[in-house]
């Protein structure tokens, strides 16, 4: 079944590629979109087939379906933009200005990580957050000490990285170091998100790498509580995965927050029944979160008796892989322009 749909959807992409340059109106383009992504399309039939697929097939077929939708949507959107521009210039000889330059062909595309980061940034900017950046070469104070991680803390072993001892600098192990810089250098109240690269002592394989992306957020103000944290994050995952997504919060330990928690979503492949994607748990962990520890506020020069806050953080690469149907994290960094489907 999986192989049949792989060949069928691949053929559909080839046909769509040939048909798109011949489309001359937005109405015709809408018809093509309905043909390839509508309720009677082969793509929708493949999606419906997931309910009857085995656990192993669900994982592989789901990635194929997601990859087809992403590629087809990108092609249709590009043609829609071209038509919009063309209808006001060269493609409209009656009202167009013949002295305007012609349309340049679209060359290349944004990296999948960039598209996901921009999408998430747009959500948090809507809520009033600022996007904050910081150095990738960090010192011990901002990377560990201000985050309630003294030198003898066992959690440091989980964040081993490349460093030198004199002066004490290292490749940052998390973008939380940018948050401590913001809390130290900026005035409160504070509301920021921090996307960026981080580094760990990891063996490179299909799901782990020594360099990867994180996305973190921080809010500091008067009267911030767990209710603010849960409301924000529930709204965030609904933005990413749809309003029907089911979530849960679990207690977890992180040195920089108290109380700490993990946010899970019900597995979108098996809908909670258990499969290889969710390791038969029915739930997938999306991020870690919690209220900022009073020690962290104090170390960053903020009065913990007046201000409180919440923080959250997630690994971005696996979210990118799920969104674009990429089966190997190393493909995000090897310069490959066309991402393969899992067959």
Contact 308, 188 (CB under 8 A): no
Instruction: List the CATH number of the domain containing 210.
Output: 3.30.930.10
Which has the closest alpha carbon to 190: 59, 50, 307? 307
Q: Please choose, from the candidates 60, 115, 61, 120, the residue with its C-alpha nearest in 3D space to the C-alpha of residue 287.
A: 120
Domain, as residue range, for 270: 112-332
Does 97 map to a domain? no
Backbone angles phi, psi at 5, to 5 degrees: -70, -30
36 and 159 part of one domain: no
- Are 246 and 326 in a shared domain? yes
25 plus 142 within the same structural domain: no
- Say what the pLDDT of residue 102 is: 64
Helix (H) or strand (E) holding 215: strand 211-221
Angle, CA of 161, 162 and 164, to the nearest 5°: 125
pLDDT of res. 193: 95
Asked if residue 128 and residue 19 are part of one domain, the reply reads: no
* 307 contacts: CB under 8 Å, gap ≥ 6: 188, 189, 220, 221, 222, 224, 297
* Cβ-contact 290, 254 below 8 angstroms: yes
Do residues 265 and 176 share a domain? yes
**In angstroms, rounded to a whole number, what is the distance separating the alpha carbons of residues 156 and 168?**
14
Give the count of domains, the chain.
Answer: 2
209 inside domain? yes
**Residue 102 within a domain:** no
pTM of the model: 0.65
- CA-CA distance, 85 to 79, in Å (whole number)? 10
Does one domain contain both 148 and 184? yes
- Answer whether residue 24 is part of any domain: yes
Which pLDDT score, from 0 to 100, does residue 90 have? Answer: 42
Q: Within this chain, do residues 76 and 122 fall inside the same structural domain, yes or no?
A: no
**pLDDT score recorded for residue 231:** 94
Asked whether residue 77 falls in the same domain as residue 175, the answer is: no
Which residues touch 108 (CB under 8 Å, ≥6 apart)? 337
- Would residue 341 count as lying in a domain? no
DSSP conformation letters of 138-164: EEHHHHTGGGT--TT-GGGGGG---EE
What's the Cα-to-Cα distance from 83 to each of 35, 94, 290, 320, rounded to whole Å? 19, 16, 47, 29
Tell me: do 14 and 138 sit in the same domain.
Answer: no
Query: Please, where are the H alpha helices in 176-290?
Result: 176-185, 226-241
Q: In the chain, which stretches have pLDDT less than 70?
A: 1-3, 5, 85-108, 155-160, 166, 277, 322, 325, 327, 335-343
Q: What are phi and psi of 215, to 5 degrees?
A: -135, 120
Are the C-beta atoms of residues 221 and 309 closer than 8 Å to each other?
yes
SS (H, E, C) 275-310: CCCCCCCCEEEEEEEEEECHHHHHHCCCCCCCCEEE
Domain match, 65 and 201 both: no
Q: Are residues 205 and 305 in the same domain?
A: yes
């Amino acid at each position: 079944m999986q192989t049949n749909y792989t060949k069928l959807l691949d053929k559909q992409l080839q046909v769509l590629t040939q048909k798109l340059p011949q489309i001359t109106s937005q109405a015709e383009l809408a018809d093509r979109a309905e043909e390839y992504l509508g309720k009677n399309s082969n793509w929708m039939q493949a999606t419906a087939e997931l309910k009857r697929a085995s656990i192993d097939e669900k994982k592989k077929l789901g990635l194929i379906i997601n990859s087809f939708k992403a590629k087809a949507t990108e092609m249709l959107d590009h043609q829609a933009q071209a038509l919009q521009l063309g209808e006001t210039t060269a493609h409209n000889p009656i009202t167009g200005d013949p002295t305007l330059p012609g349309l340049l062909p679209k060359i290349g595309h944004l990296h999948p990580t960039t598209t996901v980061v921009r999408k998430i940034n747009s959500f948090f900017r809507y809520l009033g957050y600022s996007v904050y950046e910081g150095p990738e070469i960090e010192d011990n104070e901002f990377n560990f000490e201000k985050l309630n991680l003294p030198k003898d803390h066992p959690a440091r072993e989980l964040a081993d990285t490349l460093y030198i001892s004199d002066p004490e600098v290292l490749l940052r192990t998390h973008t939380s170091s940018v948050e401590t810089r913001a809390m130290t250098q900026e005035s409160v109240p504070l509301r920021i998100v921090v996307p960026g690269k981080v580094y760990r002592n990891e063996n490179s394989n299909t799901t782990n790498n020594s360099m990867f992306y994180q996305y973190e957020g921080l809010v500091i103000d008067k009267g911030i509580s767990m209710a603010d944290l849960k409301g924000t994050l529930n709204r965030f995952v609904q933005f990413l995965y749809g309003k029907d997504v089911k979530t849960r919060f679990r207690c977890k330990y992180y040195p920089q927050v108290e109380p700490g928690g993990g946010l899970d979503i019900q597995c979108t492949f098996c809908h909670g029944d258990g499969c290889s994607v969710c390791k038969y748990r029915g739930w997938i962990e999306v991020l870690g979160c919690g209220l900022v520890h009073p020690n962290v506020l104090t170390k960053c020069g903020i009065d913990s008796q007046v201000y409180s806050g919440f923080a959250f953080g997630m690994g971005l690469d696996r979210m990118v892989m799920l969104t674009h149907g990429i089966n190997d994290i190393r493909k995000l960094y090897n310069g490959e322009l066309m991402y393969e489907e899992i067959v």
